Structure 1
């Protein structure tokens, strides 16, 4: 039945297309995803890249495998994918008491790099790898080219490893060295980078085409694959044909469904959900920007007018606890921007609020932004220039606004001053969902509960705060072991995680922080208490961050003790000194990219460095990845070889009807080990001083 079902469906679809007029779509359809995740045909990749910021969630299903993948177009020339593969024909382990009847799960990381962009004569060219840092079940490398001709997009490539198992050509690298003629089977070994086997073993030519039908939601795919499925991890798979066919239908601008007929006997089905982080936008309810209606007040400020200005600064311009002062011929405003991610919007609104009721002798406006009572930046505007801009210039005589950002200005003793006092106490409650994937007892483990936090300012520089978690429901009763690594000689600084999360109620943190701006772009903090779920202690941090500079440097030092998972108000005997020197750099040749390099000592007393690279998109969403290498050997570290992970930071205003500057961060490490683990500090000075970057959103 399967053998004839999909060709029949495709024939019906094509026949229907002949009787349907082409729909009018505003935008061309995005490149489609392959079965493995990442832009491609079915089993094989193409050289096409999705638009920068494209984020796809993919699910594919057939008799032997289920593929769950996330694909991200980080740059126009770089695609990264993370994939979990469910091998339906194998058990997770041979011990039913350990993993029950759960099927085997494999995780993998794929990358594709565009080498050449398509032009009139030449095709698009890309190189890529599958399962580079996974267990090696599908490890492959490829070089592929794609060329469009009308509604047809042709692809031709050469693959090694899983993609090239058929060996329909001789590996071209064998001409240079015989070692490229053989490929070691590393399937299922570790989550390490399998760099030693790149471009080795059999090679195959693969190719195909994708056809955009006259009915725009429907596309058809045809491919010739280079894999012969010999020694496949799912078992002996018959391959009656190397020709695969498929169809993809666009349900909406955020969802595709697809079907395929592969190997001459296998039906596949899949769904893709996608969005673009550069195009995400949520309409917000907001007060209109103040209109230009000048009504100057006297040199001695009028109480009722100033009160109205302070309220407008807080609720219209977004400045919490605004402070309005006059000194000589300058009017100063200080406050914390809590509303707009684009802080220039708040400054523009503040200037309008001030200039509408400005004493005649004022010639300069200075608006200073703070965070955590730390001054960040002062925006200085010349009143005469602002008047001219608001009144309008004669045609052809326009001038730029005389405005500049300078290091924060302390007003000192002033002649007049009014303010709205800052709330010393704040608190909040929110639902919390802790999740993990790929465990031996169950693929999906969860814990749902309530999280709360409270903060109290003892003074302008001294903050006391804490947070708690209360469990409501979880499936942690499935835990069969305590997470102890059998292949690591390191102290267990992180692998007690299961012992901690089994508590029904615990304090995440309870600490005191002292913050200080030392001037000239230097910030400092001292802190002590329960610093995170697993550790308590004391530490200090100092940061040098020049205003609107592409670089900064920070140093932190900490002495901590491990919290007792049986009684989290107490400590175990383990203690450690840990700290790092961190350099921050925003490359001028890559927009909205932040590179962080930290070197120092980690919680297990190992020494090394962490490289963290993140990309921020127009919506404010940031995506990043990090790797940590230390002086711990592979044998001491255990499975995985080194610490690595991914994270995504999402502005909360994408989910709310009003503007706000809150963010939620989701992180994922494919395997939690004890080497290369940092202290998870609640407050980090670089994040707290983001307003010193003119491009931050």
Structure 2
């Protein structure tokens, strides 16, 4: 049995990983395609060995497995129909001789696999995979595997492996291969790939029905490190297992492996593509009201001030019932221009469609052109121009036909001034919060829970005073990490001190001003306590044409480090390494130039180049896969002029991020999103200021490419 330290560690790790996978426990709005069996490493496979199968496109899985004194947690994502990636966190008890860690060794690794050939009537599926391409090398292995369905439920698998998968009963060699475990990790070990001994592995699985699956495999992994450390005893390469699949697709497995060990595994799986569309049970929008042809040419209303006022008031009332805010309306003989704020719908096209319906019921009959100007941060984003006759003609046709008739142009100079009495405006809320840090070697999951009070005072539509105060109720973020050593200014690794001394704390308190300095241009200026560790001034400028997939931005920050208590004071910008006494200065100035591009097919890329908090220079590459229902799954990596040795464990900053919308789970429209970021390790290199209100996301939301993506919601 594993020791109590390992059990406690992995309970916390399970909690952290499960925060990403809660969606898997929710009932899908649509039934997702059936997923294959997952193995102990969290990828499609038999027991320990891989198969050539792939999960359905966009499958997001989380696997928790336990064998002997080893526990693994793996997050997997089917990036494309053929390409998949897996991030794994492993705790091995009795693996190292270190009393401070209670003999528990923690390992992070990343795998990729690509299906070269799909299975056909006569041809097996063929997949090329690599384990631990970014990690310490403990699980480093490459493989080529084929899987064929022989009859319903019966599948056979065979493959060859290198590295760990070539360590037992090898039949050939491809040169020498280092087996040294890297202390820092995080660096691709190119010199090992497809080198060393080569072994064969294989197995068979039989599923008599949709619930049960029986598996037998021959493993080519000798588990030399674990056997050598005395962690396990391995007497046989034959492993046996049984899966039970729940109705929702989740998998529970029991195994007998190595001839001596018993193991168990649980896999949660979900698919963002099939998590439903935001909303769905909310009341339908009002029907389009056709005009009487005899009234279309009647302009008599233009001579009656009450008629114009009544039309504007009626629109405001109808829009409010839809959860929309009409801040201003301008009526002309044949055109109505509306200033729209959307606090409810995550899909911008649904907000536009709902407003267009209400306009058809409230605007005078002579008005043929509806100009809807979405407002974000108090400034106009775009202008969506719709013909009323098209709305009347196409209400019961597909949304695509309406999109073909619509025009989307820059909203610059089209933003009406809001009606009197709307500003200044005050909003506030009280809610619980969770602040989490993962993968610190001695504290795999650290988190604080508490209460957050936040408020916004809109001095003008585009100028807001905002702040947040937190009170911690419980947590362990204040616990020190394994080592205080840092070869860089401590811009992030003193997070434990901020957590310990900042209770209660002012998370942020700033004034932010947003603007449109020119066509295709957007601006932001933020002043105050910008985040929990830094205050100062942050300025941003974004160039984003309304019809373009490409955008450019620039951000410049002047900062001062806040006091640890996170109240109103500041401290100097010099940090001291408690291990060596070395002093490091944090620079006041940092910033980035950013390029954004919509790659198509739901993929979005971003490149940030500039100076980071610790004074290091470099760039961050981010790739996200985005779904029409608001889900996003992505990854990022930051490379700077800081060496791997100076950066410390992990070698460079990298991580996964998930944006989980609330709407698909509550069945009602909502703009709330739960962002989850999993960093491989929080270090000082590649750290960036966490300033609020960055321009790009809200700006592109109301531009043509994004509106078009969600246009299927226009008639909802």
Q: Same fold (TM over 0.5)?
A: yes
Structure 1 residues 372-431: Cα deviation after superposition (integer angstroms, max 9, x where no partner): 1121111111223333335999xxxx99863211111645889xx978836711111211
- 1: distance between equivalents of 2:145 and 2:508? 51
Q: Determine if contact 2:602/2:626 at 8 Å carries over to the other structure.
A: yes
Q: Which residue of 2 aligns with 1:493?
A: 491
Instruction: Identify if the C-alpha distance between structure 1 residues 476 and 511 changes in structure 2 by more than 3 Å, giving closer, same or farther.
Output: closer
Q: Determine if contact 2:378/2:463 at 8 Å carries over to the other structure.
A: no
Q: Which residue of 2 aligns with 1:527?
A: 526
Q: Determine if contact 1:142/1:159 at 8 Å carries over to the other structure.
A: yes
Q: Determine if contact 1:324/1:419 at 8 Å carries over to the other structure.
A: no
**2:79 corresponds to 1:43:** no
Q: Which residue of 2 aligns with 1:308?
A: 314
Query: 1:190: how far off?
Result: 3.0
Instruction: Identify if the C-alpha distance between structure 1 residues 524 and 236 changes in structure 2 by more than 3 Å, giving closer, same or farther.
Output: closer
Q: Which residue of 2 aligns with 1:475?
A: 476
Query: 1:236: how far off?
Result: 6.2
Q: Which residue of 1 aligns with 2:579?
A: none
**2:274 corresponds to 1:248:** no
CA RMSD after TM alignment: 2.6
Instruction: Identify if the C-alpha distance between structure 1 residues 483 and 621 changes in structure 2 by more than 3 Å, giving closer, same or farther.
Output: farther
Q: Determine if contact 1:593/1:615 at 8 Å carries over to the other structure.
A: yes
Structure 1 residues 347-386: Cα deviation after superposition (integer angstroms, max 9, x where no partner): 2222221122332332211111111112111111122333
**2:154 corresponds to 1:150:** no
Q: Which residue of 1 aligns with 2:211?
A: 217
Larger % of helix: which? 2
Q: Which residue of 2 aligns with 1:17?
A: none
Report which stretch shifted further, 291-300 or 30-39: 291-300
1:417-496 equivalences under 5 Å are: 421=422, 424-475=425-476, 479-480=479-480, 484-485=484-485, 488-496=486-494
Query: 1:44: how far off?
Result: 0.8
1:207-286 equivalences under 5 Å are: 207-213=202-208, 215-232=209-226, 234-235=229-230, 237-281=232-276, 284-286=280-282
- 2: distance between equivalents of 1:236 and 1:256? 27
Structure 1 residues 663-690: Cα deviation after superposition (integer angstroms, max 9, x where no partner): 1211121211111111111111101212
Instruction: Identify if the C-alpha distance between structure 1 residues 283 and 523 changes in structure 2 by more than 3 Å, giving closer, same or farther.
Output: closer
- 1: distance between equivalents of 2:674 and 2:610? 27
Residue ranges of structure 1 left out of the alignment (5+ in a row): 1-25, 175-179
**2:406 corresponds to 1:403:** yes
Question: 1:571 is paired with a residue of what secondary structure?
Answer: coil
- 2: distance between equivalents of 1:121 and 1:344? 46
- 2: distance between equivalents of 1:442 and 1:352? 54
Q: Determine if contact 1:137/1:188 at 8 Å carries over to the other structure.
A: no
Structure 1 residues 191-226: Cα deviation after superposition (integer angstroms, max 9, x where no partner): 43333322222221111122221x321111121111
Q: Determine if contact 1:210/1:220 at 8 Å carries over to the other structure.
A: yes
2:677 to 649, 667, 673: 667
Question: 2:224 is paired with a residue of what secondary structure?
Answer: coil
Question: 1:350 is paired with a residue of what secondary structure?
Answer: helix
Instruction: Identify if the C-alpha distance between structure 1 residues 573 and 40 changes in structure 2 by more than 3 Å, giving closer, same or farther.
Output: same
Query: 1:53: how far off?
Result: 1.9
Aligned pair count reads 648
Query: 1:340: how far off?
Result: 1.7
Q: Determine if contact 2:488/2:647 at 8 Å carries over to the other structure.
A: yes
Question: 2:357 is paired with a residue of what secondary structure?
Answer: helix
Q: Which residue of 1 aligns with 2:624?
A: 614
Q: Determine if contact 1:88/1:234 at 8 Å carries over to the other structure.
A: no
Question: 2:359 is paired with a residue of what secondary structure?
Answer: helix
Query: 1:294: how far off?
Result: 4.3
Residue ranges of structure 2 left out of the alignment (5+ in a row): 1-30, 574-586, 711-716
Instruction: Identify if the C-alpha distance between structure 1 residues 515 and 209 changes in structure 2 by more than 3 Å, giving closer, same or farther.
Output: same
- 2: distance between equivalents of 1:30 and 1:135? 30
Instruction: Identify if the C-alpha distance between structure 1 residues 361 and 47 changes in structure 2 by more than 3 Å, giving closer, same or farther.
Output: same
Structure 1 residues 35-73: Cα deviation after superposition (integer angstroms, max 9, x where no partner): 011111111111211112211121112223112222121
- 1: distance between equivalents of 2:171 and 2:369? 75
- 2: distance between equivalents of 1:65 and 1:110? 18
Report which stretch shifted further, 399-408 or 601-610: 399-408
Instruction: Identify if the C-alpha distance between structure 1 residues 217 and 391 changes in structure 2 by more than 3 Å, giving closer, same or farther.
Output: closer
- 1: distance between equivalents of 2:433 and 2:327? 33
1:50-69 equivalences under 5 Å are: 50-69=55-74
Q: Which residue of 2 aligns with 1:18?
A: none
Instruction: Identify if the C-alpha distance between structure 1 residues 392 and 148 changes in structure 2 by more than 3 Å, giving closer, same or farther.
Output: closer
1:355 to 357, 360, 372: 360
Q: Which residue of 2 aligns with 1:597?
A: 607
Query: 1:526: how far off?
Result: 1.2
Q: Which residue of 2 aligns with 1:113?
A: 114
Query: 1:520: how far off?
Result: 2.1
Instruction: Identify if the C-alpha distance between structure 1 residues 251 and 390 changes in structure 2 by more than 3 Å, giving closer, same or farther.
Output: closer
**2:685 corresponds to 1:683:** no
Query: 1:328: how far off?
Result: 3.8
Instruction: Identify if the C-alpha distance between structure 1 residues 413 and 356 changes in structure 2 by more than 3 Å, giving closer, same or farther.
Output: closer
Question: 1:253 is paired with a residue of what secondary structure?
Answer: coil
**2:650 corresponds to 1:640:** yes
Query: 1:241: how far off?
Result: 2.2
Instruction: Identify if the C-alpha distance between structure 1 residues 293 and 87 changes in structure 2 by more than 3 Å, giving closer, same or farther.
Output: same
Instruction: Identify if the C-alpha distance between structure 1 residues 28 and 432 changes in structure 2 by more than 3 Å, giving closer, same or farther.
Output: closer
Q: Determine if contact 1:310/1:324 at 8 Å carries over to the other structure.
A: no
Q: Determine if contact 2:311/2:363 at 8 Å carries over to the other structure.
A: no
Whose RCO is larger (CA < 8 A, sep 6+)?
2
- 2: distance between equivalents of 1:240 and 1:461? 70
2:88 to 83, 88, 99: 83
Question: 2:496 is paired with a residue of what secondary structure?
Answer: helix
Q: Which residue of 2 aligns with 1:21?
A: none
Q: Determine if contact 1:323/1:419 at 8 Å carries over to the other structure.
A: no
Q: Normalised by the size of structure 2, how large is the TM-score? A: 0.85
Q: Determine if contact 2:339/2:415 at 8 Å carries over to the other structure.
A: no
Question: 1:619 is paired with a residue of what secondary structure?
Answer: coil
Q: Which residue of 2 aligns with 1:290?
A: 286
Query: 1:189: how far off?
Result: 5.2
2:201 to 198, 206, 219: 206
Q: Which residue of 1 aligns with 2:661?
A: 651
